[in-house]
Structure 1
Amino acid sequence: MPRKILKRLMPEHGSIRDHKYLRMFGSRLHDSNLWHLNRHSAAGAFAVGLFCAWLPIPFQMVVAAAGAMLFRVNLPLSAVLVWFTNPLTMPPMFYFAYRLGSFLLNRPHHYEHFEVSLSWLAGAMSTVGPPFLLGSLVLGLVSSAIGYMFIHGLWRWSVSRQWKRRRQGR
């Protein structure tokens, strides 16, 4: 069951291989392990994709693809899971990361007047940056571990349920 759902949601092999930012990986994209979908590759892809979704950097999909190649997990699924971070979800996610980092560092929250300029960003990064980056790292690690365990457990449960149905003759 999870395999059918995931296969339906994943982009095509060719669209990932021909993506303009992923072409730099060249022939490494032809590794068959990156395209298989099984319990281990799906759970690993969830771990890589969810971790990369919390990275406050541009081109998260490229980092997710590199992580998928490094750990030899399903590349399309890793790349798609990065889309969890989008313009609608980013502000609450990153605010929560900042609040968590402030809590872990035992720092007060700094609510400064927001301004769209490089000088404001440079000044704010000295006060807001460390808690934000720590919170992002912690949330990335936690969501990665939870995603891995959840998909691994869901896959096992689904397979055992199918075997039970076969034994009962349904």
Structure 2
Amino acid sequence: MKKFFQRYLPPIAQIKSHPSLQFLGKRLHDPNLWHLNRRSVAGGTAIGLFSAFIPIPMQMVLAALLAILFRVNLPLAAALVWITNPITTPPIIYFDYLLGSILLRIPPQQLEFQFSSQWFLATLKPFLLGCMVLSTVSALAGYWLIIWLWRLQVNRLWRARCRKRLQPERTLIKPKKFGKLENLP
């Protein structure tokens, strides 16, 4: 599992030297932000997924600040924010609105934009509720999925190691045949 994340995450030096993150100063050089262990990866996943579904601009900054606050994997948290991109955002926004409408027991309306405060308030409440529920549920699901997959991988590697240890060792070199004792000097 660790090798999978090492393969796809950007180099640490590249992230540390990024100009937009220099305002974080020495906090950016905390080694806990760059470790790839079960707790750090699961926490980075949860923060990245939570930040991805919050409807604010500059979601990567929110993810970076939360990763620093909770001392979890920063590159993973920042990378997962890109789940919401220009292609995926419209369906996610519509799903958030529908989810909020269902939870508030309000019949969903046709989303035809009207420039009025009444329309804005009527659609904002279900939308924000849907965003918060989707953010929280996806963060919890991502956290526990990573914990479960990490433990599954560790158990698989441990069993393979035990099987290898229990197998008789096979030698590839044939033992030399010794001649008769009389032929010795």
Partner of 1:161: 156
Partner of 2:85: 86
Q: Cα offset for 1:123?
A: 5.5
The percent of aligned pairs where both chains have the same amino acid is 50
Partner of 2:132: 137
Partner of 2:182: none
| Higher RCO (Cα < 8 Å, 6 or more apart) | 1
Q: Are 1:63 and 2:62 counterparts?
A: yes
RMSD: 1.6
Q: Compute the TM-score of the two structures, normalised by the length of structure 2.
A: 0.84
Structure 1: state its 5+ residue gaps: none
1:33-67 CA-to-partner distances (Å, cap 9, x unmatched) read 00001000000011100000001011000000001
Separation in 2 of the partners of 1:97 and 1:62? 22
State which structure, 1 or 2, has the greater radius of gyration over its C-alpha atoms.
2
Partner of 1:40: 39
Q: How many residues align?
A: 165
Structure 2: state its 5+ residue gaps: 166-185
Partner of 2:29: 30
Q: Cα offset for 1:110?
A: 2.4
SS for the counterpart of 1:21 is helix
1:55-86 CA-to-partner distances (Å, cap 9, x unmatched) read 10110000000010111100000000101111
Runs of 4+ in structure 1 off by over 6 angstroms are: none
Is the 1:42–1:73 Cα contact (8 Å) retained in structure 2? yes
Q: Cα offset for 1:122?
A: 5.5
Partner of 2:173: none
Q: Compute the TM-score of the two structures, normalised by the length of structure 1.
A: 0.91
Partner of 2:179: none
Is the 1:110–1:127 Cα contact (8 Å) retained in structure 2? no
Q: Cα offset for 1:103?
A: 0.7
Partner of 2:177: none
Separation in 1 of the partners of 2:138 and 2:33? 22
Partner of 1:72: 71
Q: Cα offset for 1:108?
A: 2.0
Partner of 2:20: 21
Partner of 1:125: 120
Separation in 2 of the partners of 1:151 and 1:124? 40
Counterpart code for 1:53: A
